[in-house]
Structure 1
Amino acid sequence: MKLKTMTLTALFAALCVVGGFIKIPSGIGSLALDTVPALLAASFLPPALVGFASMSGHIASGLYAGFPLGPIHILIAIEMFIILYVFTRMHKAGRHIWKWVFFIVANGLVAPLPLYFIISPAFLVAAVPSIFLATVLNAAVAIIVMPALAKVTNDRMGLLK
């Protein structure tokens, strides 16, 4: 792996961790803006490394909140890896509308489904609105920042290319 790729991976993982400290008020203490940097990393890194960065952010967010869902946070981190891996593949394939639809549906509606079986149906019904809102907020910030970031990096003579 190239030094530039390793450095960018560490940078985006660290930004995901920092985003994990920017909480979104909800009944679940671990909702945060930890996914924004991972969504942005899709422009610069391979899918597996973007997934790793997103896992780092979620684990940090859960840790900061005191792991309110216990070991379920490991499952959520794995789901985040898969979702961001697919998102990055879609981004690199030029599916610029569908990647956002996929991310919002997968992260906001599909990923919480195991909570139905692990915790309870009532918890799922109570948690999904907050999770969905957090997903939409993460996506909205990334949608706004991504074009500006692409312009800046293109103006930097290929610094991050």
Structure 2
Amino acid sequence: MSGKRASILAMFIALAVVGALIKIPAIVGSVALDAFPALVAAVLLGSRSGALIAGFGHLLSALIVGLPLGPLHLLVAAEMATLVWLFATLYEVNKRKWAVGTFFVGNAFAAPLPFLFMLGTGFYVALVPALVVGSVLNLGLAIVLIPRLSTIFEKKGLASS
């Protein structure tokens, strides 16, 4: 990995930290705007880079609020990494509506399903509205920024090949 690429990756991780500080009111404090830098990076730098940023972004968001779900946040970080990787994979093959829809449904409804069984229906029902809002905001920011940043990244030769 080149120094330039490592610096850009670090910049996106830093953006995920800033996004992690912008919280969506929820029953757990880890719902935040930490995913949009990962979604942008996944398209611009590649799906693996985006997945790495998504996992770190969620863990940092959870750490900021004291890890309310304890080690279960590792599961959520893995889910976020997988969803961002899938988003980038679909986006790359011009299935952009599928990419957006898959991330939205996956993040808002499918990712919290393990908690339905572990912590009960009340937790799931209370968490989903915040995840819907968070998913819409993260996706909205990413969809607005990706085309604008992709031209810059292509001109500078920074985009993934």
Alignment partner, residue 98 of structure 1: 98
Q: Secondary structure at the match of 1:38?
A: helix
Query: Letter of the aligned partner of 2:6 in structure 1?
Result: M
Please name the residue that 2:87 is paired with. Answer: 87
Q: How much does 1:141 deviate? A: 1.2
Alignment-derived partner of residue 142 in structure 1: 142
Report if aligned partners of 1:42, 1:91 keep a CA contact under 8 Å in 2.
no
Structure-2 separation of matches of 1:35 and 1:51: 10
| Residues 55 and 78, structure 1, Cα contact 8 Å, conserved in 2 | yes
Superposed, which structure 2 residues align to 1:101-112 within 5 Å?
101-112=101-112
Match of 1:125, as an amino acid? V
Q: Distance in 2 between matches of 1:127 and 1:24?
A: 11
TM-score, normalized by length of structure 2?
Answer: 0.91
Farther-moved stretch of structure 1 (7-16 vs 94-103): 7-16
2:11 is matched with: 11
Give secondary structure in 2 for the equivalent of 1:30: coil
Any gaps of 5 or more consecutive residues in structure 2? Answer: none
CA RMSD of aligned residues (A): 1.5
- Give the corresponding residue for 2:158: 160
User: Deviating runs (4+, > 4 A) in structure 1?
Assistant: none
Task: Tell whether the 8 Å contact from 1:116 to 1:123 is kept in structure 2 after alignment.
Answer: yes
Question: Between the two proteins, what is the percent identity of the paired residues?
Answer: 38
Structure 1 pair 60–118 and aligned structure 2 pair: CA distance change class (3 A): same
* Partner residue, 2:74: 74
